[in-house]
Amino acid sequence: MANLTTEISLNLSLRQRRDGNWKAFESARREDAQSLVELTLVVPLFILLLVGSAELARVAWAAVLTSSAARAGAAWGAVNPANAGDSTGGIEAAAAADGVNLTGLTTTPRLTCVCSSGAAIQRCITTALGVATALSDCPSPATITNYVQVKTSSTVTPLMHYPGLPRTFTVTGQSTMVVAP
Protein backbone atom coordinates (compact mmCIF):
# COMPACT_ATOMS: atom_id res chain seq x y z
CA MET A 1 0.00 0.00 0.00
CA ALA A 2 2.83 2.33 0.80
CA ASN A 3 4.32 1.57 -2.58
CA LEU A 4 1.06 2.37 -4.34
CA THR A 5 0.71 5.69 -2.48
CA THR A 6 4.22 6.68 -3.38
CA GLU A 7 3.64 5.82 -7.04
CA ILE A 8 0.40 7.85 -7.18
CA SER A 9 1.98 10.86 -5.52
CA LEU A 10 5.02 10.56 -7.81
CA ASN A 11 2.77 10.45 -10.90
CA LEU A 12 0.75 13.43 -9.67
CA SER A 13 3.83 15.51 -8.91
CA LEU A 14 5.36 14.70 -12.34
CA ARG A 15 2.15 15.59 -14.13
CA GLN A 16 1.78 18.85 -12.23
CA ARG A 17 5.42 19.69 -12.80
CA ARG A 18 5.13 18.90 -16.49
CA ASP A 19 1.96 20.97 -16.79
CA GLY A 20 3.51 23.80 -14.81
CA ASN A 21 6.71 23.76 -16.87
CA TRP A 22 4.75 23.62 -20.11
CA LYS A 23 2.71 26.65 -19.09
CA ALA A 24 5.83 28.49 -17.94
CA PHE A 25 7.60 27.67 -21.23
CA GLU A 26 4.62 28.81 -23.29
CA SER A 27 4.42 32.05 -21.28
CA ALA A 28 8.15 32.62 -21.75
CA ARG A 29 7.79 32.15 -25.52
CA ARG A 30 5.03 34.77 -25.64
CA GLU A 31 7.10 37.20 -23.56
CA ASP A 32 10.14 36.68 -25.82
CA ALA A 33 8.03 37.36 -28.89
CA GLN A 34 6.59 40.48 -27.28
CA SER A 35 10.09 41.70 -26.38
CA LEU A 36 11.23 41.11 -29.95
CA VAL A 37 8.31 43.14 -31.32
CA GLU A 38 9.04 45.97 -28.88
CA LEU A 39 12.72 45.93 -29.82
CA THR A 40 11.82 46.04 -33.51
CA LEU A 41 9.67 49.11 -32.91
CA VAL A 42 12.11 50.97 -30.65
CA VAL A 43 15.45 50.43 -32.44
CA PRO A 44 14.62 52.58 -35.52
CA LEU A 45 13.42 55.39 -33.27
CA PHE A 46 16.60 55.13 -31.21
CA ILE A 47 18.77 55.24 -34.34
CA LEU A 48 16.83 58.26 -35.65
CA LEU A 49 17.30 60.01 -32.30
CA LEU A 50 21.02 59.21 -32.30
CA VAL A 51 21.59 60.44 -35.88
CA GLY A 52 19.47 63.54 -35.25
CA SER A 53 21.55 64.38 -32.18
CA ALA A 54 24.75 64.03 -34.20
CA GLU A 55 23.38 66.34 -36.91
CA LEU A 56 22.32 68.91 -34.32
CA ALA A 57 25.81 68.75 -32.80
CA ARG A 58 27.36 69.40 -36.24
CA VAL A 59 25.17 72.50 -36.74
CA ALA A 60 25.98 73.76 -33.23
CA TRP A 61 29.71 73.22 -33.79
CA ALA A 62 29.54 75.14 -37.08
CA ALA A 63 27.76 77.99 -35.26
CA VAL A 64 30.54 78.12 -32.66
CA LEU A 65 33.24 78.15 -35.36
CA THR A 66 31.40 80.84 -37.35
CA SER A 67 31.12 83.08 -34.29
CA SER A 68 34.77 82.47 -33.49
CA ALA A 69 35.75 83.48 -37.02
CA ALA A 70 33.81 86.74 -36.62
CA ARG A 71 35.58 87.41 -33.34
CA ALA A 72 38.99 86.74 -34.92
CA GLY A 73 38.28 89.14 -37.80
CA ALA A 74 37.06 91.84 -35.42
CA ALA A 75 40.06 91.35 -33.14
CA TRP A 76 42.45 91.77 -36.08
CA GLY A 77 40.65 94.94 -37.20
CA ALA A 78 40.54 96.39 -33.68
CA VAL A 79 44.32 96.32 -33.22
CA ASN A 80 44.82 99.75 -34.82
CA PRO A 81 43.10 102.12 -37.26
CA ALA A 82 45.19 100.85 -40.17
CA ASN A 83 43.95 97.29 -39.65
CA ALA A 84 40.37 98.53 -39.29
CA GLY A 85 40.66 100.24 -42.68
CA ASP A 86 41.93 97.02 -44.33
CA SER A 87 38.51 95.41 -44.53
CA THR A 88 38.95 93.28 -47.63
CA GLY A 89 42.40 91.88 -46.94
CA GLY A 90 43.27 91.53 -43.28
CA ILE A 91 39.88 91.19 -41.60
CA GLU A 92 38.58 88.62 -44.07
CA ALA A 93 41.90 86.74 -44.01
CA ALA A 94 41.88 86.59 -40.19
CA ALA A 95 38.30 85.30 -40.18
CA ALA A 96 39.08 82.71 -42.86
CA ALA A 97 42.19 81.56 -40.97
CA ASP A 98 40.11 80.99 -37.84
CA GLY A 99 37.26 79.21 -39.66
CA VAL A 100 39.29 76.67 -41.61
CA ASN A 101 36.78 73.81 -41.19
CA LEU A 102 33.79 75.82 -42.41
CA THR A 103 32.25 75.54 -45.85
CA GLY A 104 31.07 78.65 -47.63
CA LEU A 105 32.35 81.12 -45.02
CA THR A 106 31.47 84.70 -45.96
CA THR A 107 32.79 87.68 -44.04
CA THR A 108 31.26 91.17 -44.06
CA PRO A 109 33.26 93.82 -42.18
CA ARG A 110 31.78 97.23 -41.40
CA LEU A 111 33.21 100.32 -39.76
CA THR A 112 31.13 102.57 -37.54
CA CYS A 113 31.95 105.77 -35.70
CA VAL A 114 30.24 107.09 -32.58
CA CYS A 115 30.77 110.22 -30.54
CA SER A 116 31.72 109.64 -26.93
CA SER A 117 28.60 111.61 -26.05
CA GLY A 118 26.52 108.87 -27.71
CA ALA A 119 25.56 110.78 -30.86
CA ALA A 120 25.85 108.74 -34.05
CA ILE A 121 28.11 109.96 -36.84
CA GLN A 122 26.69 109.72 -40.33
CA ARG A 123 29.95 109.04 -42.11
CA CYS A 124 33.15 107.22 -41.23
CA ILE A 125 35.90 108.02 -43.70
CA THR A 126 38.56 105.42 -44.33
CA THR A 127 41.94 106.92 -45.15
CA ALA A 128 45.28 105.35 -46.04
CA LEU A 129 46.23 105.48 -42.35
CA GLY A 130 43.00 104.01 -41.10
CA VAL A 131 39.62 105.25 -39.90
CA ALA A 132 38.97 108.94 -39.38
CA THR A 133 36.07 111.32 -39.45
CA ALA A 134 35.52 115.04 -39.34
CA LEU A 135 35.56 116.35 -35.79
CA SER A 136 32.78 118.73 -36.74
CA ASP A 137 30.39 115.77 -36.58
CA CYS A 138 30.81 115.58 -32.79
CA PRO A 139 30.24 118.37 -30.26
CA SER A 140 33.39 120.03 -29.00
CA PRO A 141 34.31 118.14 -25.80
CA ALA A 142 33.36 114.74 -27.26
CA THR A 143 35.81 112.37 -28.92
CA ILE A 144 35.25 109.92 -31.73
CA THR A 145 35.21 106.18 -31.06
CA ASN A 146 35.67 103.83 -34.00
CA TYR A 147 34.19 100.33 -34.04
CA VAL A 148 34.81 97.44 -36.37
CA GLN A 149 31.90 95.03 -36.79
CA VAL A 150 32.36 91.68 -38.53
CA LYS A 151 29.47 89.45 -39.58
CA THR A 152 30.17 85.92 -40.77
CA SER A 153 27.97 83.17 -42.16
CA SER A 154 28.56 79.61 -43.28
CA THR A 155 26.46 76.73 -44.55
CA VAL A 156 26.06 73.27 -43.06
CA THR A 157 24.84 70.39 -45.20
CA PRO A 158 23.41 67.47 -43.17
CA LEU A 159 24.70 63.98 -43.85
CA MET A 160 21.14 62.81 -44.55
CA HIS A 161 18.13 64.71 -45.82
CA TYR A 162 15.17 64.66 -43.46
CA PRO A 163 11.71 65.32 -44.90
CA GLY A 164 10.36 68.64 -43.72
CA LEU A 165 13.80 70.13 -43.03
CA PRO A 166 15.91 72.24 -45.43
CA ARG A 167 18.79 70.63 -47.32
CA THR A 168 21.28 73.18 -45.90
CA PHE A 169 21.41 75.30 -42.78
CA THR A 170 22.99 78.74 -42.57
CA VAL A 171 24.66 79.74 -39.32
CA THR A 172 25.81 83.29 -38.56
CA GLY A 173 28.21 85.01 -36.22
CA GLN A 174 28.79 88.63 -35.32
CA SER A 175 31.39 90.51 -33.32
CA THR A 176 31.91 94.21 -32.63
CA MET A 177 35.07 95.66 -31.10
CA VAL A 178 36.44 99.11 -30.39
CA VAL A 179 39.35 100.11 -32.62
CA ALA A 180 42.39 100.97 -30.53
CA PRO A 181 43.57 104.56 -31.10
Rounded-to-integer distance, Cα 130 and Cα 170, Å: 32
* Mean pLDDT of the chain, nearest integer: 79
- Asked if 95 and 72 count as a contact pair (C-beta separation under 8 A), the reply is yes
Other CB atoms within a 10 A radius of the CB of residue 147 amount to 19
Within 13 Å, how many C-alpha atoms sit on residue 88's CB side? 1
Please give the helix or strand (H or E) that residue 11 lies within, else none. Answer: helix 2-77
pLDDT at residue 15, as a whole number: 47
pLDDT > 70: what percent of the chain? 71
Give CA–CA dist 121/139, Å, rounded. Answer: 11
Q: Is the per-residue pLDDT at 150 higher than 60?
A: yes
Q: How far apart are CA 127 and CA 133, in angstroms?
A: 9
DSSP state of 162: -
Judged by average pLDDT, the poorest of 2-6, 90-94, 101-105, 175-179 is: 2-6
Evaluate if residue 75 carries a pLDDT over 50.
yes
Q: Which amino acid is at 176?
A: T
Domain ranges of the chain: 2-178
Contact between 91 and 150 under an 8 Å Cβ cutoff? The reply is yes
Distance, in Å, from the CA atom of 54 to the CA atom of 61, rounded to the nearest integer, reads: 10
Interval 140-156 mean pLDDT: 86
